[in-house]
Amino acid sequence: MSEEAAAIHAATLCLDTHVDIRWPEPPDPLAEGTMRVDFPKMARGGLNAVVFIAYVPQGKRDAAGHAAAAERAEAMLRHIRDRADGAARRFCATAAELEACFAAGAQAVLSAVENGYAMGHDLGAIRRWKALGACYLTLTHDGHNDLADSARPRQPLGDAPEEHGGLSPLGREAVSALNAAGMLVDVSHVSKRGMMQAAELSATPIVATHTACRALCDHPRGIDDEQLDMLRRVGGLAQITAVPAFLQRVPEGVKNPAGVEAMADHVDHAVTRIGIEHVGLSSDFDGGGGVEGWQNAAESPGLSAALLRRGYGRRELGLLWSGNFLRLLRQAEAVAR
């Protein structure tokens, strides 16, 4: 990495919008460990801020299943908040707090919930999650839930290819509740029809916090050009992520060689299609993410270097790493009521 590239990376607020944590029994993030993201790795790689995820796997859709999912999500949100000490590591729930944290030279901890299954049928859960600091909700995970169809139905759960025709009536109410609470609507994992409906319905721009371009790699977790166009139309954001299977197809049983150049290919495609203001970056570390050149938080400069080699400059790198996501946070905060 050249000195100039290193300097640009160091001056950029680098935010990873989707990082999983191990649960239960999460390791101490203060210690260098086996996880791809911990505070020492973040410091070495100049990864200033991370949205840690309260992830809930899809389970049985009954009262007991929903109650267990809600308990897990809120316990994880409290744990994530407790990772911050208020000094070297600050918990940030707003765009202004994140920018102030970066200006102070501290590490930023953010949180979000992945899988609306954790809500059950209780729309009040969204306000509780916001009160705990969550900045977005990923409407589904793998498998349909009561809010929306998933991009990857799960036959072991009894899923049909489609259940709701996109969003369910409850899912539509959830989008409105997220808008009212000032949380972003994350359409990663959501079926195309559900994603398009959420884009039309949401009062604020939607985001796909960890995705890729189906035009380059036809994976059900990616988004196609029509979906990219919709994101541009509503002011939304596609965060290109470091999951090899989303970036490059290889024969079954062959190790996927995708690296930072493959990520840059997807960034290029999205930027060309919908503009730099609607594209960002994420890793999905500790949830399947990790490519050659960006295998953990300590290697974050490698992704910046790859993008700078493509001709992106200081301004563009800032937009990709955090500027565009900060804009969406501000828009969500502005319409909260």
pLDDT value of residue 162 = 98
Give which of 188, 187, 133, 197 is closest to 165, Cα–Cα: 197
CA distance linking residue 206 with residue 313, whole number of Å: 26
Predicted local distance difference test score (pLDDT) of residue 108: 98
CA 26 to chain centre: 20
Q: Which helix (H) or strand (E) holds 112?
A: strand 107-114
pLDDT of residue 1: 85
pLDDT given at position 322: 98
Length, in residues, of the chain: 337
Q: What is the pLDDT of residue 272?
A: 98
pLDDT tens sequence for the chain (337 residues): 899 999 999 999 999 999 999 999 999 999 999 999 999 999 999 999 999 999 999 999 999 999 999 999 999 999 999 999 999 999 999 999 999 999 999 999 999 999 999 999 999 999 999 999 999 999 999 999 999 999 999 999 999 999 999 999 999 999 999 999 999 999 999 999 999 999 999 999 999 999 999 999 999 999 999 999 999 999 999 999 999 999 999 999 999 999 999 999 999 999 999 999 999 999 999 999 999 999 999 999 999 999 999 999 999 999 999 999 999 999 999 999 9
Q: How is residue 185 annotated by DSSP?
A: E
What angle, 0 to 180 degrees and rounded to 10, lies between the N-to-C axes of helices 260-274 and 300-309? 50
